[in-house]
Chain A
Amino acid sequence: MPEPLLELRNVSKAFRVGAAFLGPKKWARAVDDVSFQLYERDTLALVGESGCGKTTTGKIAAGLLKPTEGEVLYKGKDIWKMNRHEWREYRRSVQIIHQDPYASLNPMLTIYKSLSAPLFRHKIVETKEEAVDKIAELLEMVGLTPPEDFIWKYPHQLSGGQRQRVVIARAMSVNPKIIVADEPVSMVDVSMRLQILHLMKDLQEKFGVAYIFITHDLATGRYFASDGRTAVMYLGSIVEYGPTNDVILNPQHPYTKALLSAIPEPDPIKTRQKKPMQLRSLDVPSLLNIPSGCKFHPRCPFYKPGLCDAKKPGLIDVGGGHMVACWLYGE
């Protein structure tokens, strides 16, 4: 087994919320005891509904947030104990792409300005001529051709899909090893999503980048990580994890099953024949008041009193690296 490029070990993140002045301070546990490894050229999809902690996990992996517990290791080194040189190297190697291509580019700057800043910062180029050449190369790489048509434009002159290509070019400009892509196509029009996904896959082929692909759209996650792994998150924890097609086509955790049974599919006969799983409650518990034991127990149709509400299930291998955290399996 090769050494993982990036590893999260029992990582948790709690945020202090509420009126510190008027009332007691409360802690919201957005990420709770999450572990995974990412290898070179690897794809891991983090999927779940809003508030499940997938974005926070992505930010922790990219070093934008410091976990309250646990460790983040890059090439075996704890990133929060790195010296300045190592930290710089790590931050360059892990880039993040955000959901909103409209917000991630400064509207006042030309594409040249937006893309040249990191090149100068990381001393990849030194003169304007070098920067122009390098940016032209990057724009070509992400399919914005001919580059002369794009380099001097402002973001508002580009479509959503084109902007997201610029954002990808900027992330790739510093030769990263890992890209954390947080809902990279959810704000891109449907007809352009697949172009972007294919572009990201091509870059992986060519440069060996690994992806942490964060999405609420399980179909897109499945497509992108079809040869990788998928982790399903619920209220801050990974409840199911494994090779993508095992998780999506043969789900084991009741939450994953409920999600998959509820998602409409673009096929009228198929989607109208789906039998949704009935939950005991539709309400997602608040992060301030997380249920005891298994966090899904108040909604789970297979709830066993005295077990599920008392003890927290750990991830158990149900075969071939397919891990499930549920008392229906193991113990």
Chain B
Amino acid sequence: MAQATQVVEKSEAEKGEVILSVKNLNVEYRAQRGIVKAVRDVSLDVYKGEILFLVGESGSGKSTLGYAVMNILPSPGYIKSGDIVYHIGGEEIHILKLSPNEQRKFRWRHVAMVFQSALNALNPTLRIWDQLYDTMQAHLGHSISKEEALEKIRYLLEMVRLEPDRVLKSYPHQLSGGMRQRVMIAMALLLDPEILILDEPTTALDILTQKNIIDLLKSIRKKLGLTMIFITHDLSLAAELADRVAVMYAGKIVELADVYTIFYKPKHPYTYALIKTIPKLTSVDEKLYPIPGSPPDMINMPPGCKFHPRCPYAVQRCAEEEPQWERVDDGHYVLCHRWRELMLGEQ
């Protein structure tokens, strides 16, 4: 297979230094019917300069994990246990141990977020200039002059391919969806963060605009060497942009590997089934297979492996015992009792 040669190509980042460590993280939501264990004992290292995708369906815990690393979980969510450590400027920063004020300063300065709906994230009554300048002032106070701020803002708007003169004077509603999303990206970059978290930043956009934002993110990464954590349900976006992919299901990462391994040599039955269930745009005569059943009820989860009720390869053990994280290869991990014998992705 011609693809095999490219599969060995590993992301640069993988050999690099760790910028963020999530350790044994548990996140819960209190709901009427009981406790939702949204993220269950997840550990993950993020490397400096990489684009890491958290991929999963609704309820998989991908967004919860993304919000938890900034410690901005919407109520009634809370971090039950675990640690989140940033390695920035030679220091180890445990964000959960910082005071609320220190956390506020840390966020946006070191780790910023781009939300799904830029229309809701921007204040409709403020001009773009005021929003951007206020954000800078709130974090930097008067240590930055208005002229310096303007220079920085212009630089960033040009980088996201907007015309500063026109955009700065506009109110959010005067801009198209794609332009607003580009403003949001510029805003997230205002304080030169090391890490950018993007939560479905292109889902609400048109196809051609989405492509434009993807290309923009590629060029920003090249230019600034940012680390990006990209949260999405869309596997095609991961194929397009990711260095590494973490596939989530029922609150756990079930498979983690570089993007080529995830797509061409997946080991987890869920990853394997997911790729075989998406309609393809151009391939001819490829048979698709539906995945039976529904994702589990997060309050009343099945015992053992949470995917076993839908898994064609499940055996007794899968229903009784939750699998442990196993190493397949360098940088490739899987959460499945049977990955070795199944030999998925080997055909």
A residues neighboring B (CB under 8 Å): 49-50, 159-162, 189-195, 198, 216-220, 222-224, 248-249, 258-260, 262-272, 276, 279, 282-284
User: What's the Cα separation between A312 and B47 when bound, in Å?
Assistant: 53
User: What's the Cα separation between A50 and B209 when bound, in Å?
Assistant: 12
Q: Mark B259-291, 1 if CB is under 8 A from A, else 0.
A: 110011000000001110111111110001111
| Interface residue from B3, B237, B281, B291 paired with A192 (Cβ < 8 Å) | B291
Which residue of B has the minimal Cβ distance to A158? B294
A190 lies within 8 A of B274 (CB): yes
| Interface residue from B57, B207, B294 paired with A216 (Cβ < 8 Å) | B207
Say if the beta carbon of B206 comes within 8 Å of chain A: yes
A259-B208, A282-B212 given; A191·B57 CB < 8 A:
yes
B residues neighboring A (CB under 8 Å): 3, 6, 57-58, 176, 178, 206-212, 214-215, 233-237, 239-242, 259-260, 263-264, 273-275, 277-284, 288-292, 294-295, 310
Return the 9 tightest CB-CB contacts between A and B, nearest first.
A223-B279, A262-B211, A194-B290, A264-B236, A264-B240, A159-B294, A189-B57, A219-B281, A219-B279
CB neighbours (8 Å) of B289 from chain A are 194
User: What's the Cα separation between A162 and B294 when bound, in Å?
Assistant: 8
User: What's the Cα separation between A218 and B278 when bound, in Å?
Assistant: 12
CB neighbours (8 Å) of A159 from chain B are 294-295
CB neighbours (8 Å) of B263 from chain A are 266-268
CB neighbours (8 Å) of B215 from chain A are 276
A-B contact pairs, 27 of them (CB 8 A): A159-B295, A160-B58, A192-B291, A192-B294, A194-B277, A198-B290, A219-B279, A219-B281, A220-B279, A258-B208, A260-B281, A262-B207, A262-B208, A263-B281, A264-B214, A264-B239, A264-B240, A266-B236, A266-B275, A267-B283, A268-B260, A270-B282, A271-B236, A276-B215, A282-B208, A283-B176, A284-B176
A190-B57, A268-B239 given; A195·B214 CB < 8 A:
no
CB neighbours (8 Å) of B259 from chain A are 268
Which residue of B has the minimal Cβ distance to A216? B207
* Supplied contacts A160-B58, A270-B282, 4 more A-B pairs, CB within 8 Å: A49-B206, A191-B273, A268-B239, A268-B242
A190-B235, A269-B6 given; A262·B210 CB < 8 A:
yes
User: What's the Cα separation between A262 and B281 when bound, in Å?
Assistant: 11
B280 lies within 8 A of A267 (CB): yes
A266 lies within 8 A of B208 (CB): no
The secondary structure that dominates the A interface is helix
User: What's the Cα separation between A198 and B288 when bound, in Å?
Assistant: 10
Which residue of B has the minimal Cβ distance to A195? B290
A195 lies within 8 A of B291 (CB): yes
User: What's the Cα separation between A260 and B281 when bound, in Å?
Assistant: 8
User: What's the Cα separation between A219 and B176 when bound, in Å?
Assistant: 26
Which residue of A has the minimal Cβ distance to B161? A282
CB neighbours (8 Å) of B264 from chain A are 268
Distance to closest chain B CB from A209 (angstroms)? 20
User: What's the Cα separation between A222 and B285 when bound, in Å?
Assistant: 12
Distance to closest chain A CB from B250 (angstroms)? 12
B236 lies within 8 A of A49 (CB): no
| Interface residue from B260, B277, B281, B294 paired with A265 (Cβ < 8 Å) | B281
Distance to closest chain A CB from B126 (angstroms)? 23
A190 lies within 8 A of B277 (CB): yes
A267 lies within 8 A of B239 (CB): yes
B278 lies within 8 A of A266 (CB): yes
CB neighbours (8 Å) of B242 from chain A are 268
Which residue of A has the minimal Cβ distance to B235? A266
| Interface residue from B212, B236, B283, B291 paired with A191 (Cβ < 8 Å) | B291
Distance to closest chain A CB from B211 (angstroms)? 4
CB neighbours (8 Å) of B237 from chain A are 264
CB neighbours (8 Å) of B295 from chain A are 159, 189, 191
Distance to closest chain A CB from B229 (angstroms)? 18
A271 lies within 8 A of B207 (CB): no
User: What's the Cα separation between A198 and B279 when bound, in Å?
Assistant: 12
| Interface residue from A194, A248, A260, A266 paired with B291 (Cβ < 8 Å) | A194
Which residue of A has the minimal Cβ distance to B214? A264
B292 lies within 8 A of A266 (CB): no
Distance to closest chain A CB from B222 (angstroms)? 14
CB neighbours (8 Å) of A192 from chain B are 290-291, 294
Which residue of B has the minimal Cβ distance to A51? B206
User: What's the Cα separation between A272 and B310 when bound, in Å?
Assistant: 32
A191-B291, A271-B240 given; A265·B207 CB < 8 A:
no
CB neighbours (8 Å) of A161 from chain B are 294
User: What's the Cα separation between A11 and B211 when bound, in Å?
Assistant: 32
CB neighbours (8 Å) of B294 from chain A are 159, 161-162, 189, 192
User: What's the Cα separation between A269 and B3 when bound, in Å?
Assistant: 8
